[in-house]
Structure 1
Amino acid sequence: AAYNLRNKNLMLAQLIKELQSCELMLNGGESAHKAEAKLVVAFSLKGKQKHI
Protein backbone atom coordinates (compact mmCIF):
# COMPACT_ATOMS: atom_id res chain seq x y z
CA ALA A 1 0.00 0.00 0.00
CA ALA A 2 1.14 3.54 -0.66
CA TYR A 3 0.63 6.47 1.71
CA ASN A 4 0.51 10.16 0.86
CA LEU A 5 2.58 12.51 3.01
CA ARG A 6 3.35 16.08 1.94
CA ASN A 7 2.34 15.31 -1.64
CA LYS A 8 4.69 12.28 -1.73
CA ASN A 9 3.56 8.74 -2.34
CA LEU A 10 5.43 6.59 0.17
CA MET A 11 5.61 2.90 0.90
CA LEU A 12 5.22 1.85 4.54
CA ALA A 13 8.97 1.63 5.24
CA GLN A 14 9.50 5.10 3.78
CA LEU A 15 6.58 6.46 5.81
CA ILE A 16 8.08 5.06 9.01
CA LYS A 17 11.43 6.75 8.22
CA GLU A 18 9.66 10.07 7.57
CA LEU A 19 7.76 9.83 10.86
CA GLN A 20 10.93 8.93 12.80
CA SER A 21 12.68 11.91 11.26
CA CYS A 22 9.82 14.19 12.36
CA GLU A 23 9.93 12.60 15.83
CA LEU A 24 13.65 13.38 16.09
CA MET A 25 13.06 17.01 15.11
CA LEU A 26 10.29 17.38 17.69
CA ASN A 27 12.44 15.87 20.44
CA GLY A 28 15.54 17.92 19.68
CA GLY A 29 17.42 15.01 18.11
CA GLU A 30 16.50 12.51 20.81
CA SER A 31 14.08 9.72 20.01
CA ALA A 32 10.92 9.48 22.10
CA HIS A 33 11.89 6.03 23.32
CA LYS A 34 15.18 7.30 24.75
CA ALA A 35 13.46 10.25 26.42
CA GLU A 36 10.80 7.94 27.87
CA ALA A 37 13.46 5.54 29.17
CA LYS A 38 15.25 8.42 30.92
CA LEU A 39 11.99 9.44 32.62
CA VAL A 40 11.38 5.88 33.84
CA VAL A 41 14.91 5.70 35.27
CA ALA A 42 14.53 9.11 36.94
CA PHE A 43 11.23 8.15 38.56
CA SER A 44 12.56 4.78 39.74
CA LEU A 45 15.61 6.49 41.26
CA LYS A 46 13.39 8.98 43.09
CA GLY A 47 11.36 6.10 44.52
CA LYS A 48 14.51 4.33 45.77
CA GLN A 49 15.84 7.48 47.42
CA LYS A 50 12.71 7.80 49.57
CA HIS A 51 13.28 4.32 51.05
CA ILE A 52 16.92 4.95 52.01
Structure 2
Amino acid sequence: MRTRISLDLVVYAFLNGEYPESIPQNFPLLSLKQVYGAMPAVSRYLWKLLRI
Protein backbone atom coordinates (compact mmCIF):
# COMPACT_ATOMS: atom_id res chain seq x y z
CA MET A 1 0.00 0.00 0.00
CA ARG A 2 1.40 3.38 -1.04
CA THR A 3 0.81 6.61 0.82
CA ARG A 4 1.18 10.09 -0.56
CA ILE A 5 3.72 12.57 0.72
CA SER A 6 2.61 16.16 0.27
CA LEU A 7 4.80 18.73 -1.43
CA ASP A 8 4.45 20.81 1.72
CA LEU A 9 6.42 18.21 3.67
CA VAL A 10 9.23 18.28 1.12
CA VAL A 11 9.27 22.10 1.12
CA TYR A 12 9.30 22.14 4.92
CA ALA A 13 12.28 19.77 4.92
CA PHE A 14 14.19 22.10 2.56
CA LEU A 15 13.30 25.13 4.64
CA ASN A 16 14.68 23.34 7.68
CA GLY A 17 18.02 22.94 5.92
CA GLU A 18 17.75 19.31 4.89
CA TYR A 19 19.67 18.19 1.83
CA PRO A 20 17.86 16.25 -0.90
CA GLU A 21 19.88 13.16 0.02
CA SER A 22 18.54 13.17 3.60
CA ILE A 23 14.86 13.60 2.75
CA PRO A 24 14.29 9.97 1.65
CA GLN A 25 15.74 8.89 5.00
CA ASN A 26 12.93 10.76 6.76
CA PHE A 27 10.28 9.81 4.20
CA PRO A 28 11.11 6.25 3.10
CA LEU A 29 8.31 6.28 0.52
CA LEU A 30 10.29 8.85 -1.49
CA SER A 31 13.27 7.97 -3.61
CA LEU A 32 16.11 10.40 -4.20
CA LYS A 33 15.01 10.59 -7.84
CA GLN A 34 11.53 11.68 -6.73
CA VAL A 35 12.98 14.32 -4.41
CA TYR A 36 15.07 15.79 -7.22
CA GLY A 37 12.06 15.52 -9.53
CA ALA A 38 10.09 17.67 -7.10
CA MET A 39 12.68 20.48 -7.18
CA PRO A 40 10.95 22.54 -9.92
CA ALA A 41 7.68 22.39 -7.99
CA VAL A 42 9.47 23.32 -4.76
CA SER A 43 11.07 26.31 -6.51
CA ARG A 44 7.71 27.52 -7.82
CA TYR A 45 6.11 27.03 -4.41
CA LEU A 46 8.84 29.05 -2.66
CA TRP A 47 8.81 31.74 -5.35
CA LYS A 48 5.07 32.25 -4.88
CA LEU A 49 5.48 32.23 -1.12
CA LEU A 50 8.11 34.96 -1.28
CA ARG A 51 6.01 37.13 -3.58
CA ILE A 52 3.11 37.30 -1.14
TM-score calculated relative to the size of structure 2: 0.31
**Which structure carries more strand by proportion?**
1
Higher RCO by CA contacts (8 Å cutoff, separation 6 or greater) = 2
Rg larger in structure: 1
